[in-house]
A and B are shown apart, each in its own frame.
Chain A
Amino acid sequence: MPLDNVVFWVFAPISIASAIGMLVMRNAVHAALFLIVNFFTIAVMYLLLDAPFLFAVQIIVYAGAIMVLFLFVIMLLGVDRGVDGREPLWGQRWIAVALAVAFVLETGFAIRAAVGLSTRAPDGFDAVNAAGNTQALAKVLFRDYFFPFEVTSVLLIVAAIAAMVLAQRKARAVTQAEIDAEQPFTAPDPEVVA
C-alpha cells in the first residue's frame, strides 16, 4: 500500500469524525476545537494533493487566525455556558440527516460517472511546479490574477473597517432631527439607551 494511501485512510476518518463531533457537541468551545482538528486534517489532504503552499495557508489562516477569532468571540459573549439547552432542532434533525445522505449519494454517483472511482491524478504536476509550488503559484497569481488580487486587498481593508464599526460599543452621534423631535420631559430611560 503506497504511503499517501495510508495517510489518506488515516486522516479521512479523523476528518469525518471531527466534523460529526462538531455537530453533536453542546458546548460551543468543544465544537470549535473539533473544527480546528478538522481544518488540520483538510490541510493534510492539501499536502497529499501536492499543494504545500495552501497546506501552510490553511493552517495559518483557518486553524490559526479564523478559529482564534471564533474562540475569542465565544468566550467574549460567554455563550459556552449552558445557553444551549434547547440547542439542536430535534424535529428537523432526521430530515437534515436524510437530505445529507441523499446529497452524498447523489454527488457520489456524479463523481463515479464524471471522474471514475479509480482515476488517479496524472503525472507531470512536478513540471507545473517546476521551481516549487509557492513560486509557481506566485507566477499564476501575479500574472493572470493580478487585478483580483488587488481587489482582494481592498476587500480586506473594507472588512476590517466594517468589523470595527459593527463591534464598537460607543453610542452613535445624535442627529439634529432627533434633538428637535425629542420632548423635554420624556428623556429616554438610561437602561434602554445603555
Chain B
Amino acid sequence: MRTPIAYFLILSSILFALGTVGVLIRKNALLIFMSVELQLNAVNLTLIAFSRMHNDLNGQVIAFFSMVVAAAEVVVGLAIIVSVYRRRQTVDVDDARGLRW
C-alpha cells in the first residue's frame, strides 16, 4: 500500500465537512438525514484508515459496530419522519416547531 494514510484522512475530512454543509443548508428532513449518513461514513473511513495505520483490527471492529448502529438509527429516524409526515403533511423541519410556544 503506497498511498499515504493522510490522503484518506483528508478525504474523510472533506466528506464530513460536506455532510455538515448539507445539515446546515437543507430544510427537508430526509435530506438532512442523508447528510448525517454522509458524516457517519466519513468517520468510518477515518476509523479504518487509523486501523490500517496502526496495524490494529480494533478500528475495523468499531467501524463495523458503527455501521450496525447507523442501520438501527436510520430505521427509527425514517419511522419518525414518516409519522411526522402523517401528522403534518410535510417533512420541512421549519414546520415542526411544537416546542416553540
Which A residues form the contact surface with B (CB < 8 A)?
2, 4-5, 8, 12, 15-16, 19-20, 22-23, 28, 31-32, 35, 38-39, 42, 45-46, 48-51, 53-54, 57-58, 61-62, 65-66, 69-70, 73-74, 76-77, 79, 83-84, 86-89, 92-93, 95-97, 99-101, 103-104, 107-108, 111-112, 115-122, 124-125, 128-129, 136-137, 140-141, 144-145, 148, 152, 155-156, 158-160, 162-164, 166-167, 169
Contact = CB atoms under 8 A, between A and B. Distances in A.
B67 A16 contact: no
A138 B72 CA distance: 21
Contact of A163 (B25, B41, B79): B79
A66 B76 CA distance: 12
A73 B52 contact: no
B96 interface: no
Interface band, chain B: 35 or more
Contacts, number: 254
Q: What's the dominant secondary structure at chain B's contact region?
A: helix
B29 to A, nearest CB: 9
A4 B71 CA distance: 30
A181 to B, nearest CB: 22
A62 B67 contact: yes
A73 B97 CA distance: 22
A100 B61 contact: no
Given A156-B68, A159-B72, A96 B25 contact: yes
